[in-house]
Amino acid sequence: MFFTYGGFKIHPAHQSTRQILNRQNFSVVASAEFPGAHTFNAGGWKAMENRPDSSDLKVAEEYAEAVLKRFTGEDSEIAGEPEKYFREHQSEFRT
């Protein structure tokens, strides 16, 4: 899964989306969230302008390469549960 957010608050959408997909017999092998320009702007304010930038795109490229390894069988490990990672690293996320 590949999520973007507009810079106000990172929402752990990974868990709820994974649950929905699992109920439909899908298996999630990777999930990540990346900054992007905030597009819902009824108030006229500016948020995350010029994002994604080159560093964001580099991280996204690395993510895509890692996910490709999952699909080709080069990396068969199962990652930890997204909600566990979020709980352990919650203080690192900007709100």
SS3 assignment for the chain:
CEEEECCCCCCCHHHHHHHHHHHCCCCCCCCEEEECCCCCCCCCCCCCCCCCCHHHHHHHHHHHHHHHHHHHCCCCCCCCCHHHHHHHHHHHCCC
Number of domains in the chain: 1
The answer, yes or no, to whether residue 79 has pLDDT greater than 60, is no
pLDDT band at residue 94 using 50, 70 and 90 as cut-offs: low
- Residue range of the domain that includes 26: 2-92
Please give the model's pTM, rounded to 2 decimal places. Answer: 0.62
Q: Best-predicted range by mean pLDDT among 1-5, 73-77, 84-88?
A: 1-5
Q: 26-60, pLDDT tens digit by residue?
A: 988 888 888 887 776 667 777 778 888 999 899 99
pLDDT band at residue 66 using 50, 70 and 90 as cut-offs: confident
